[in-house]
Structure 1
Amino acid sequence: MNHIRLENISKIYNATNAQAQSALTLLAEGMNSIDVKEQTGYSVGLYDINLTIKAGELHCIMGLSGSGKSTLIRHINRLIDPTSGKIWVDTAINAQTNIAEDNSISARASQSAPSSVINILELDDKGLQQYRQQNVSMVFQHFGLTPHMTVLQNAAYGLRVRKMNVSERHEIARHWLNEVGLPNLENSYPDELSGGMQQRVGLARALATDTPILLMDEAFSALDPLIRAQLQDQLLELQARLNKTIVFITHDIDEAVKVGQCISILNGGRLVQTGTPTELRNNPVDNYVAQFMQARK
């Protein structure tokens, strides 16, 4: 069963619709994003992205700096809206969904599709708030913790936003702090923790809300290699039990191969290739992909 589908997603920054169309026309003619910037003055975030992510899949998005990775992931929770395209999400899927079921989200997004398959770009402010609270959580590169809150309060923050009572949300937060290996630190503050510990709090906060989609934007890249490897292992162990749909951004091919069931590689805002690590290694579509796969340690 598919969970998320990006359909013809393009993003041109700091341009009106008419201005963006001129940039999109050049991209359609084969001009790269650097030349489009030089000719029009407008930055290309993404161009014509078509990508499907399965329910329960840990899907890595990777590429060099500026390739569009973070722009893409921020479309899924609408921190960024596209210039054009649609973003379909099946809001009925949860972690217990049978991920072996083989239904196409594109087929379900037809006239006969159930109301649970929505184009999130059509949501109003109230609908978007509900979508974010119930369907998607995010773990940031630089932790995103609130310094004046305790570890427990940080971990419970998403549940506080849902107006859950204090005792219940703290009980859930304690459970997830224990799950990520941080028992007995609930009264500490973020600046008392190491970087690895802070990121564990961020992960506990995302897991506490029990949303089916987890977005991780370079979540481990600021950490020392040993701590990074430990968190990768912990993420895989948690995913084996939780069956989240995880979109994991990284610029590290070794990390992508280790944690990703599927990898999508971006270059200059374009989606170059999607496949399993084996498929990308054995059948790269171009030298860009081949060089990434050859760069493995």
Structure 2
Amino acid sequence: MHAIGIDIGGTKIAGAVVDTFGTIVRQSRVPTPAGDVTALEDAVVAMITELADGTESVAVGVAAAGFIDASQSVVYYAPNIDWRNEPFREKLEARVSMPVIIENDANAAGWAEFRFGAGRLVSDMCMLTIGTGVGGAIVASDTLFRGGFGAGAELGHVRLVPGGLPCGCGQRGCLEQYGSGRALMRMAGEIADGGGIGLGLARVREERGKLDGRGVGDLIAADDPGALAALKQLGGWIGQGCASLAAVLDPQLFVFGGGVAAAGERLLEPVRRAFVEHLPAQGYHPEPEFAIAELVNDAGVVGAADLARVWVQRRG
């Protein structure tokens, strides 16, 4: 029982035909015409048509960044595309011969990890995607949590520091400003400015003209003390955020995806330490496991496809 998953990113549209085991059997990729919503719709329809040819797919799941309504039909708001109250599901179903659902991209990735990746052995899981920002997904009692209006699990915008750094969401002190890839670059820059353990970071900044994810990531992999100190700061903030989330959600597992998660255990170690330090009822509250996401770049299309398949099965 195949389904098609489409993941619309800011720079590329990825698509795949996915089987019931989460295995990709056919895939495609094209640039995202983000500035032209008509061209974007045409590109998605063309990709669905191409992938559906000869596969007997039963449904299409489309993942995109932004707020999606509870019926998985309308994109309230998308940060990278000019969508405002966009009835994207209706438009696609008018042009393709299959049922379509629309899903938040972090939800789709989290569902993929729950079904086929790091979370496949638990019933309650929380995933944080640590990239330029911080995305989130929650699975509770084997069910993807969307909230009453469909816009739940925006974990990157949980308030971490009252009156803290300004966030793109319009508020201050959000987890995204302290636990994201962008935050890691800021922390690394501050350490580079201080000399001492920051000399390696300062050298890379001078060579490259700025500190970027690849440069800092290479230094982390090489156990550079300044880069590891920045990662420790980042992990400390993430661990604090997870402790607050655990008080509400009580997950069995936290999963971390996104570019920063490539640091693996170097990231998880300070996350775990800070989590325990800030956990309510410390010593008595059950402690979850912490893991790195397994599906990496395929999570969006796999999760979107599987959610579409599940939707069709439940509909009967």
The answer to whether TM tops 0.5 is: no
Q: Could you state the TM-score of these two structures normalised by the residue count of structure 2?
A: 0.34
Q: Could you state the TM-score of these two structures normalised by the residue count of structure 1?
A: 0.36
If asked which structure has higher relative contact order (CA below 8 Å, sep 6+), I would say: 1
